[in-house]
Structures are given as structure tokens and as C-alpha cells.
């Protein structure tokens, strides 16, 4: 079977070396295998995403010498599809509305807790009519996944991590994750798994920072009857002080590196030195 990989950046800033590592890894894997390489713009968050960053992503990838197959998929053009996926999960009894503010969640968790602490379940037992009343009153709400019920329905989960083989995927520690945000009727987890499925992605190549989210994606794939792709999470690039590169680090953007006279060969060389030969991560 021929492989299909993808690069799926969010246009919230300029691409940096870390993005280049992800983009090149997927591209090499696809091209070396005679497969397909897709580009998807993950722009559901209209407050943080900007069209000029999408334009810059396309320019930067072209400068790096990367080409992709077919049209670019723009997530914000597909909100009705995400709504349909939510409806399907709701029909399985797996979603509930959550009216909590961030402050309420923090207070319920009790300080100090990491940002990623699982939701403490405040709205889980609200009951249909109380929830319906609050929705009628116009209270903003997110939709959360009933994690325990979802896991029971899905059964034992595994996925193939390239270089490691089949590994267990346990989403339980992540708790009742948000699948539709208060401000956006969708979420990263929902859209990324939906789109990997509809685009026929067989190998997800991305940074190790997203590895912790993979069990949720495998869970959603199983619940929705979508194929489970293989995963290849690559090491993250760090700055000289060992900190992870972020969009705020302007010095590491591809535009600035290009403006400073670096060539695409230099960029590939830096990435290879830091995380190993790009295709064999």
C-alpha cells in the first residue's frame, strides 16, 4: 500500500525550524516511497490564525523545495463536516455540554496543578434538563467527551509508532477532553482525526510534542470507524539553551533565516544534525 503523509500547520505565525523538520520528514517519507504528501491548514481558531500566515507557509514550503499533492485543505472550509462528526458522537451518548470557565476549573482542581490536569468533571452530572435550561439561557458551552464510556465502547487501543512497533494507546489520563470549544464548534483533536481519515492519511509525521495527544486520536478513530494511521513522532528541535522552539522565537523563523542568507540546503543540514537524517527518524 502506498503511503500518504501530511503537513498540517496552524497559521498562527511564521514557520520555524521545528516546522521545517516536520514538513521535511513527511515529504521525504512520502517521496522516497512514491507516496502522496498533503498540505492541510489547521485554521479553525479564527482569533489566532491569519490568512497572511497561510500565504507565508505556502511561500516558505516552496522555498524549502517541498511540493504537495492535490489541493490544500483549509479546515475552516469544512466546519459542517466537523459538526456531523460531533453529532455522530453525541448520538452514541459520548458528549456532554460543559459550561465551566477556566477559573472554575482551576478552582475545582485546587492549586497547584499543571495546565494539562484532566477536567474535574463538574458538568458531567448536570443532567439533561439542567443543561438544556442553561443552553436556552444562552450560556456558552463546550462539548466534552465522556472518556470512561468512550473507552469502554472502543476497547483496547493500540497504534503503530514507527521505530517502536505496536504500542498501547491509553487516553484515560487525559480525562474528558473538549471536542467542541466554547468559541469554536470544533477542536484540534476532532478536526485532526477527521481530516486524516477523509484525506486517507496512512502515516502521521509530527513533532513529539503531539505524541501525548495521539491516544485521543486513536480513540476517536476507533469510535468513528476511521482507519488508524501509523505515527512517526520526531524529536523536537531546541534552541542552544535546550528550550523547545516556539513561534515567538522570531530568530528561528524560516523567513529570518532566509533573510540572513541561509539556503534551503543549510536548513536541511541544521535539521539533520539536530535530529538525525530527516527521513529515518
Footprint on this chain of ligand GLU (rule: CB under 6 A): 8-10, 42, 192, 206, 210
Least spacing, CB of residue 229 vs ligand GLU, in Å: 11
Least spacing, CB of residue 124 vs ligand GLU, in Å: 27
Nearer to ligand GLU, 122 or 236 (CB): 236
Least spacing, CB of residue 10 vs ligand GLU, in Å: 4
Nearer to ligand GLU, 10 or 151 (CB): 10
The span from the first CA to the last CA of the chain, in angstroms, equals 21
Least spacing, CB of residue 6 vs ligand GLU, in Å: 8
Nearer to ligand GLU, 42 or 60 (CB): 42
Select from 23, 21, 18, 20 the least CA-distant residue to 7. Answer: 23
Least spacing, CB of residue 131 vs ligand GLU, in Å: 30
Least spacing, CB of residue 206 vs ligand GLU, in Å: 4
Nearer to ligand GLU, 42 or 176 (CB): 42
Amino acid at each position: 500500500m502506498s503511503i500518504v503523509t501530511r503537513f498540517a500547520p496552524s497559521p498562527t505565525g511564521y514557520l520555524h525550524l521545528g516546522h521545517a523538520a516536520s514538513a521535511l520528514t513527511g515529504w521525504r517519507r512520502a517521496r522516497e516511497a512514491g507516496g502522496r504528501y498533503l498540505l492541510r491548514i489547521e485554521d479553525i481558531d479564527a482569533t489566532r490564525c491569519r490568512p497572511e500566515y497561510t500565504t507565508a507557509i505556502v511561500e516558505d514550503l516552496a522555498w524549502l523545495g517541498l511540493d504537495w499533492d492535490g489541493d490544500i485543505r483549509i479546515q475552516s472550509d469544512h466546519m459542517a463536516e466537523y459538526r456531523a462528526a460531533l453529532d455522530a458522537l453525541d448520538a452514541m451518548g459520548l458528549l456532554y455540554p460543559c459550561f465551566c470557565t477556566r477559573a472554575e476549573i482551576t478552582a475545582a482542581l485546587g492549586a497547584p496543578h499543571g495546565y494539562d490536569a484532566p477536567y474535574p468533571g463538574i458538568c458531567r452530572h448536570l443532567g439533561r434538563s439542567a443543561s438544556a435550561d442553561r443552553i436556552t439561557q444562552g450560556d456558552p458551552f463546550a462539548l466534552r467527551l465522556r472518556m470512561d464510556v468512550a473507552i469502554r465502547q472502543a476497547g483496547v487501543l493500540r497504534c503503530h509508532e514507527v521505530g517502536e512497533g505496536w504500542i498501547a494507546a491509553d487516553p484515560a489520563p487525559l480525562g474528558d477532553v473538549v471536542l467542541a470549544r466554547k468559541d469554536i464548534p470544533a477542536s484540534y483533536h476532532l478536526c485532526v482525526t477527521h481530516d486524516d481519515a477523509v484525506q486517507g492519511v496512512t502515516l502521521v509525521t509530527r513533532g513529539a510534542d503531539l505524541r501525548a495527544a495521539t491516544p485521543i486520536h486513536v480513540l476517536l478513530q476507533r469510535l468513528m470507524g476511521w482507519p488508524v494511521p501509523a505515527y512517526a513522532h520526531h524529536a523536537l528541535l531546541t534552541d542552544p539553551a535546550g528550550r523547545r522552539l516556539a513561534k515567538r522565537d522570531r530568530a528561528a523563523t524560516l523567513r529570518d533565516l532566509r533573510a540572513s542568507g541561509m539556503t534551503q540546503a543549510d536548513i536541511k543540514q541544521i535539521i539533520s544534525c539536530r535530529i538525525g537524517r530527516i527521513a529515518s527518524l
